[in-house]
């Protein structure tokens, strides 16, 4: 029982340290996420296109 109480006490202490991001930080993080997603999508599209053409030329 002592370990459980200690765990919950430490969890509450850690939760008190949590801060909410500002609106500007949230917007910046969202923009960075969108940019990374677009970059990854473009890379995957290019790889799919290249490998598709390669397979067509080898098998076709």
pLDDT digits (tens, 9 = 90+) for 1-60: 678 889 999 999 999 999 999 999 999 999 999 999 999 999 999 999 999 999 999 998
CA distances from 39 to 28, 34, 35, 43, 51 (A): 17, 9, 6, 6, 18
E strand intervals along the chain: none
CB 29 within 8 A of CB 21: yes
Burial of residue 14 (CB within 10 Å: 0-12, 13-18, 19+) is exposed
In the chain, what are the domain boundaries? 22-60
* pTM higher than 0.75: no
């Amino acid at each position: 029982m002592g370990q459980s109480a200690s765990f919950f006490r430490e969890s509450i202490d850690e939760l008190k340290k949590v801060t909410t991001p500002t609106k500007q930080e949230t917007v910046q993080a969202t923009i960075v996420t969108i940019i990374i997603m677009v970059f990854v999508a473009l890379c995957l599209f290019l790889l799919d296109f290249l490998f598709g053409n390669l397979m067509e030329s080898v098998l076709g």
